[in-house]
Structure formats: C-alpha cells, structure tokens
Structure 1
Amino acid sequence: MHRLLTVCLLLVTAVLAGCATHPSPELRPYTADESKQLALEALNRRGLSFDEYQQQRAALTGQPQKPFGFDRSGEMNAERSVTLQGRPS
C-alpha cells in the first residue's frame, strides 16, 4: 500500500514539475537584434561574391554601402622597382 502511494505521489510531483517549467526559447518570438543576427549568419553561409555580399549586408544592417575598388595607380609588381611620386616604396 505504501509503495502504491509513493509511486502515485512521485508521478503527480513529476507531472506538476513538468507543467511549472518555463517555456523553451524556441517558443518565444525572436527580438529584432536576434533576427538581424540570424540573417547575417545566413548571408555568410550563402557563398556570394564580395560585391553581392557587401550589397546585401548593407541592406540588412541599414548602413550605406561603402564603395570598394582599386585605386587609380593600378596593380604593382613586386619584382619591379618603381618609385611613385609622393610615396615611399
């Protein structure tokens, strides 16, 4: 008789403890910062070209896109010894 009462008491305690736990994080809505972070992480995994990545990243973050490119001096060859005006080589 005592064993049956003990088992029933443990069962009721386990059920009530399960009902009293806080909801899991998956059930709550994401905050704006979490949504932005998830979108940026997904963007990193997409394998886009550098220009496409910068365009979409600027759109996600709301920052103006910075122009990227080469300067007007062109490419330099390390084997060539050229002194540019105004710059130490």
Structure 2
Amino acid sequence: MEATVAERGQITLPKAVRDALGLTKGTILKVELDGGRIILRKDVSEALRKVRGRFRLVDGHASTDDALRASRGRAPGDPVEP
C-alpha cells in the first residue's frame, strides 16, 4: 500500500488500514520516529477514560489484586513462593 504526501503535508491512509484499525474522523494517532521509519499508534487513552469506573468486581472483591488472588492464587507484585 502507498500514501502520497499532499501539498500541506497531509497523507490519506488507505481505507483498508483505517477499517482494520477502526480509525474514524477525529481519531488521534501518536506519531513516533524510529530511525527512518514513521510509526503511527492509535491513542487509546480517551477510550480508557470513558470506561474507567464503569465495571465492578464480582464476588465482593475489594480490588483487582484480591480478585486475581482468588482466581490465580497470586497477584502481580506478590512474592513468588518456591
């Protein structure tokens, strides 16, 4: 796939790319340089902000760590027992 840089420095991403990544008008992309490559990343921080606090833990767990301990036996950061 190719994209051409327009007079004002804009490019149009191919429709297949936009569809595959769920990019719509107003989607924010993070732009990074890696040597001679341009890396575009979809900014998901706004989507995370919208859902933060909307989900509740089941079975009366006070925290995510408590829920993980109940299901896995340990949570991230817990010491590993030999």
TM-score, scaled relative to structure 2: 0.24
The higher-RCO structure (CA 8 Å, 6+ apart) is 1
**Which has the larger Rg?**
1
Of Structure 1 and Structure 2, the greater strand share is in 2
TM-score, scaled relative to structure 1: 0.23
Of Structure 1 and Structure 2, the greater helix share is in 1
